[in-house]
Amino acid sequence: RAEGAIVVEMETAALFAVGAFRNVLVAQLLYAGDNVGGESWDHREWSAQRSIRKSLFFLACEACCDAPSVGRS
């Protein structure tokens, strides 16, 4: 909070720490499907967003395939 953060995503931080330690490229795609931070659960029509999630998945796959192979042998 002292640095202005309102949320922390620990799993991605761990993934990038391992990638740095192993000297491998790492990428992470985060998709917020719902919100449990308020007084009530906001499901944001999760079940109706399937086509958006599918498009996002394939865009991520394309981005990974197009990523430069920096530091790979």
Indicate whether 3 belongs to any domain.
no
Indicate whether 57 belongs to any domain.
yes
25 pLDDT tier (thresholds 50, 70, 90): confident
Indicate whether 56 belongs to any domain.
yes
Indicate whether 18 belongs to any domain.
yes
Q: What is the tally of structural domains in the chain? A: 1
pLDDT tens sequence across 47-57? 777 888 899 89
Could you tell me the CA-to-CA distances from 23 to 16, 18, 26, 34, 70 in Å, in that order? 10, 8, 9, 33, 10
Residues spanned by the domain of 53: 10-66
pTM: 0.54
Indicate whether 24 belongs to any domain.
yes
Indicate whether 61 belongs to any domain.
yes
Could you tell me the CA-to-CA distances from 57 to 25, 43, 50, 60, 64 in Å, in that order? 19, 20, 11, 5, 11
Amino acid letter for position 61: C
- Sign of the CA dihedral with 61 first, then 62, 65, and 68 last: negative
